[in-house]
Structure 1
Amino acid sequence: MKKNPLGRTGIEVSELCLGTMTFGNQTPPEEAFAQMDRALEAGINFFDTAEMYPVNPVKAETVGRTEEIIGEWIVASGRRKEFVLATKHTGTSKLVRDEAPISSETIPGAIEASLKRLKTDVIDLYQFHWPNRGSFHFRQNWRYDPSGQDRATTVQHMADALGALGREVERGTIRAFGLSNDSAWGTAMWLRMAEEVGGPRVASVQNEYSLMCRLADTDLAELMVNEQVGLLPYSPLAAGLLTGKYQNGAVPEGSRMALNGNLGGRKSARAFPAVEAYLQVAREFGLDPVHMALAWSARRPFVASSIFGATTLAQLDHLLGAVDVVLGEELLERLDAVHREHPMPY
């Protein structure tokens, strides 16, 4: 499988990354173990998790369970050296640390707790799940208003956090630092502050990105290309919409829509015609729509690795077919044309 650089870290990651947010909820431990084994066999060397996982839904009693399952597999398999491991520090959440925001005080304890659950000595990529100052992700872009932000507070937070992260790098508990659900300005400021005060340079930004959510295509894309920061798309299949399984009112048993109803705000009257247009392109080119959408997200020039999740081993095996897809210029033009016809469908 093709490998890409993770920023300027010297770490190389496979173009596909195994997401684990269902481990411990929709995906039981034995199935999760099988998925991780299968991913490594297929050439995937990058696994992504978070301290707050599993999701659908997030519950206080299950926070950290996904990391625990990965840790149990690491001990049982002995395969820790075969893959790059990424996890995330939860931002303000009533389910984690009593709503404490990310800070230089919370970073050491959060890392130690993740290391303990993961049963490893080092986290390869440590990410901030979302910025303290707020975010336009998760459908908040429709009424996003940054005017209440305090720049001085943000800058001081960044300096302090980078100091704490730098100490963790020196201790050997983390290797690299990444963001999630952040903006072009936020990423640029983290890069600037790393130059001014030291600490690890941002290697990646994990944001939602798919054929149906192309917010990263302009300002953030330019920053990532010029500053050598890799995008790690999550929800490259638009939470399952791009598979076509929800068309015509279908709600498969055990699916994400069956669990949370509106797919985190992605279910809308405009979404389904957009999906149909992408399905038609797949039919025209003789492609599986799942493979087309996942390959598209992974091959964008600013993407380091595209993060996909699978509830079952059978789904994982199906998704791996994206590796063999060839994205010709005619296909890419058709996909761009659909995007112009159906911009921001949710």
Structure 2
Amino acid sequence: MDQITLGDSGIRVPKIALGTMTFGDQNTQQDAEDQLSFALSQGINFIDTAEMYPVPPRADTVTRTETILGHWLKKQARDRIVLASKVAGPRRGMHWIRGGPSGMDRANIRQAVHDSLTRLQTDYLDVLYLHWPERNVPMFGQYQFDPRAERDANGQPVDWVPIQTQLEVLGELIQEGKVRAIGLSNEQPWGVMEFLRLSREQGLPRIAVLQNCYNLMNRGMEFGMAEILHRERVTLAAYSPLAFGHLTGKYVDDPSTPGRVTLYLGYAQRYKKPGVPVAAKAYAELARAHGLTPTELALSFVYHRWFVGCTIIGATNMRQLQQNVAAYQVRLSDEVLNAIEQLHLTMMNPAP
């Protein structure tokens, strides 16, 4: 498996990471260990998780994924694994995580890392992400910035934890050996540049990786973030390359087919937009017209984009995982890439 370095961290990872958001809900401990063993056999040792997993997040399943990984990890040579987890922030209504995080402050970040390390049965994380910005930003299917959200119900300005404070806490964790590198997730261009500015001016740790959504239906990264990542040497870890399964073509063929879209109604609002079924059908038809599966088309496109450092894939069964990994060997022709661009210009970003 080809490898890249995460930003300036010196940490080498494969071009594919294994996502684990189904472990503990759709996948059992044995399912998870089978997937992890297969991933390692393919040279994929970059494992991505989060304290709030599995998804969709619920009080009765939260943290199961890290617990499952911990049972597996204690049987592995720790230095063979590159392990990433994430700190959940406020504004998502998850009262079952630390009583509902009040902010990305010192107490919340340190407690989250302590708890994750305990569940994962390890002394350190290779990468620690802030799962989403604390401040007011559009995310998870929202697509417009609303300045009215800067104030509370009484009209008073919301007191966000300063980014510098967040970086200072992350710096403490690095100095203590509990974290090797830091990253951001679901972040916006202003936030990335502000984290980078403060790290430079205040001598604080520098973000190495950004984990954001990127797929054929959501190419917003290309508008401005790709330049930032290139010029600032920050690696993109792209998630949701199959658009919650929509880009596999399975919902085109049978809208009621079992999957997260049909099992968890109302979840993943990003893919509830009216243009999603239209785009899914168009990309599936394009793939099949060129002798490809829709999955191969969608994954190969993301795998080999010049600004994508690594791609996070996940699966609910071994057959899916094997197909997803095999798609890395597929290279799209110029004809297919040009056809993708024409579709993109016709139905740009239906799932922002």
Same fold (TM over 0.5): yes
Q: Does 1:231 align with 2:236?
A: yes
Closer/same/farther in 2, CA of residues 113 and 246 from structure 1, 3 Å limit: same
Task: State the distance in 2 between where 1:144 and 1:198 align.
Answer: 30
Task: State the distance in 1 between where 2:227 and 2:150 align.
Answer: 24
Identity of aligned residues (%): 39
Which residue of the partner structure matches residue 6 of structure 1? 6
SS of the aligned residue for 1:17 comes to: strand
Which residue of the partner structure matches residue 68 of structure 1? 67
> 1:94 Cα shift?
2.0
Q: Which segments of 5 or more consecutive residues in structure 1 lack a partner in the other structure?
A: none
SS of the aligned residue for 2:350 comes to: coil
> 1:81 Cα shift?
1.9
Which residue of the partner structure matches residue 193 of structure 1? 198
Q: Does 1:300 align with 2:299?
A: no
Task: State the distance in 2 between where 1:5 and 1:331 align.
Answer: 29
Task: State the distance in 2 between where 1:34 and 1:146 align.
Answer: 46
| Residue correspondence of structure 1 range 111-260 to structure 2 within 5 A | 111-141=113-143, 143-146=144-147, 148-149=149-150, 157-253=162-258, 255-260=259-264
Q: Report the more deviating stretch, 173-182 or 95-104.
A: 95-104
Closer/same/farther in 2, CA of residues 165 and 323 from structure 1, 3 Å limit: same
Q: TM-score, normalised by structure 2?
A: 0.92
SS of the aligned residue for 2:106 comes to: coil
> 1:167 Cα shift?
1.1
Q: Which segments of 5 or more consecutive residues in structure 2 lack a partner in the other structure?
A: 152-156
Tell me which amino acid in the other structure corresponds to 1:133.
Answer: R
Q: TM-score, normalised by structure 1?
A: 0.94
Task: State the distance in 2 between where 1:196 and 1:268 align.
Answer: 41
Work out whether residues 51 and 64 of structure 1, in 8 Å CA contact, stay in contact via their aligned partners in 2.
yes
SS of the aligned residue for 2:89 comes to: coil
Q: Does 1:85 align with 2:90?
A: no
Work out whether residues 136 and 149 of structure 2, in 8 Å CA contact, stay in contact via their aligned partners in 1.
no
Q: Does 1:53 align with 2:57?
A: no
Work out whether residues 50 and 87 of structure 1, in 8 Å CA contact, stay in contact via their aligned partners in 2.
yes
> 1:153 Cα shift?
5.8
Q: Does 1:287 align with 2:292?
A: yes
CA deviation string 1:242-278 (max 9, x = no partner): 001111552223x102221255121343212211211
Which residue of the partner structure matches residue 98 of structure 2? 97
Q: 1:328 aligns with which of 323, 330, 333?
A: 333
Work out whether residues 16 and 307 of structure 1, in 8 Å CA contact, stay in contact via their aligned partners in 2.
yes
CA deviation string 1:56-114 (max 9, x = no partner): 3x1112211100100100123x2322221110000113231222211122122111111
CA deviation string 1:4-30 (max 9, x = no partner): 121111112111111000000001110
Task: State the distance in 1 between where 2:142 and 2:200 align.
Answer: 31
Task: State the distance in 2 between where 1:260 and 1:144 align.
Answer: 27
Give aligned pairs, total. Answer: 341
More helix by share: 1
Task: State the distance in 1 between where 2:150 and 2:205 align.
Answer: 24
Tell me which amino acid in the other structure corresponds to 2:236.
Answer: L
Q: Does 1:271 align with 2:276?
A: yes
Task: State the distance in 1 between where 2:274 and 2:261 align.
Answer: 15
